[in-house]
Chain A
Amino acid sequence: MNNKRKELIVSAISNGTVIDHIPANKLFQVIRILDLEKSDKEVYFGTNLESKKYGRKGIIKISEKYFESSETDKIALVAPTATLIEIKDYEVTKKTTVNIPDTIERIAKCFNPNCVTNKEQVPTKFKVIKINGEIKLACHYCEKNTSQSNMVFN
């Protein structure tokens, strides 16, 4: 890819955030957890794009939107390789990689229907663990592990 085209992909929005390096098969899950279907901002996405580092990647561009840490935590859980690029006035102002948090509170649901967090008014609390390379959420209450494919966010 030449530099001009690269620039185009990243800076096609004047203000907002580009989420780059999303594993191609996680793109739609990222769209879902960020609730972008309901966004009234301009949203562009692409998938199965070539990436030197990751083979095939997905990319999302959202106008007029800068993410809070609770949202980047969610992105990190399903797309740990993602990069966030903040754009102001067509310029890249900030570039960060997402960090997988050690614990997460409130933002995710426990997959166990009989968990107290799904039965009473109890905010969820998880330890983020890695088993054989896969990220899982270990519930502080029912002690069950929610795997990536079962992750549902609030």
Chain B
Amino acid sequence: MKNRSLISINDYSKEEIMQVLELAAEFEKKPHQNLLHGRVIASLFFEPSTRTRLSFESAIQKLGGNVIGFSSAATSSVQKGESLKDTILTVCNYSDLIVMRHPVDGSARFASEVASVPIINAGDGANQHPTQCLLDLYSIKKTQGTLENLEVTFVGDLKYGRTVHSLVIALCHFNTKFHLVSPVELKLPSAVKRHIKEANLQYEQYTDFSEVIPKSDIIYMTRIQRERFPDPLEYEKVKNAYILDNGMLDYARENCKILHPLPRVNEISTNVDDNPKAYYFEQALNGVYVRQALIAAILGLK
């Protein structure tokens, strides 16, 4: 991993994924370590994402590093029409590593090809968001004790949700059984299902949510966005069919945990929040440890 960019979760082998997760567990035990003393990390957010940016900046500061950068394109030279290549080349002069978020698909891969320092992709358009995927894996491993042989249920928008695509592909390393719950309009794309088939794993698709709850070790909830439906009537029909309510969890497995990449709107009722099976807020905190682990590994400090 040393000196290598992380652009897509597919860039890492199963062994490398496990290495990051083990390192993240070390940081969870001891989050404050002065490994980045004197180092500068650039945090380039060409589109705002407060949640992801704060998580990265918290990770950097817990490691004793300094952050430079911008939190939206409006406050950077991009607004003056500077090309992505020029921005990246300039920032390379001032930093040891670049964390970047950008609205264009493939921008992070391109940046990693022109940059002289490693890049961590913090989301490129609708394409990849590998640190979200790693923190999801970390959360699953931490709550289940293992990543192997689990039954994982994905609910909601499986068509456009990039976090779902990356996580499904990553879980193909771990003999997962997939339950895919969505309206027909938002089914998992066949390109992603192909990964499941190639790994010789099983998946089942459902339009009804309640029947899969007792079969799930993990329930991964996502938001269904109104914009995804050309016909507003279709949205009205499905919008309440994929809401998780506390009462539905009476039939859940003892070890079952609820994950969500956040922000949530109404797809998890607030009455679930106090249920010990709710894990989405801790899930976000795990992101800091995973990002500490990645930065330390890529800079060769661990």
Contacts and interface: CB of A to CB of B under 8 A. Distances in A.
A12 B140 CA distance: 69
B83 interface: yes
Contact of A142 (B84, B85, B125, B194): B125
A123 B186 CA distance: 32
B110 interface: yes
A115 to B, nearest CB: 5
A142 B83 contact: no
Contacts, number: 51
A115 B128 CA distance: 12
A121 interface: yes
B104 A119 contact: yes
Contact of A115 (B84, B85, B106, B194): B106
Given A141-B110, A142-B127, A112 B83 contact: no
Nearest to A121: B83
Contact of A141 (B83, B103, B105, B191): B105
B107 interface: yes
Size bracket, chain A contacts: 10 to 19
Nearest to A124: B106
Given A131-B194, A143-B8, A143-B127, A115 B104 contact: yes
A117 to B, nearest CB: 7
Interface string A120-154: 11100000000100000001111111000000000
Contacts of B187: none
B159 interface: no
Contacts of A119: 104, 107
A114 B105 contact: yes
Nearest to A122: B110
Contacts of B173: none
A116 interface: yes
A139 B194 contact: no
Given A120-B104, A120-B110, A143 B85 contact: no
B128 to A, nearest CB: 7
B89 interface: no
B109 interface: yes
Contacts of B109: 116, 140-141
B195 to A, nearest CB: 12
B161 to A, nearest CB: 15
B248 interface: no
A115 B105 contact: yes
A139 B8 CA distance: 13
7 closest residue pairs by CB, A with B: A141-B106, A142-B105, A142-B106, A116-B106, A116-B107, A116-B110, A141-B109
Given A114-B105, A144-B127, 18 more contacts: A114-B103, A114-B104, A116-B84, A116-B104, A116-B105, A116-B110, A119-B104, A120-B83, A120-B85, A120-B104, A122-B106, A122-B110, A131-B191, A140-B106, A141-B106, A142-B127, A143-B127, A144-B105
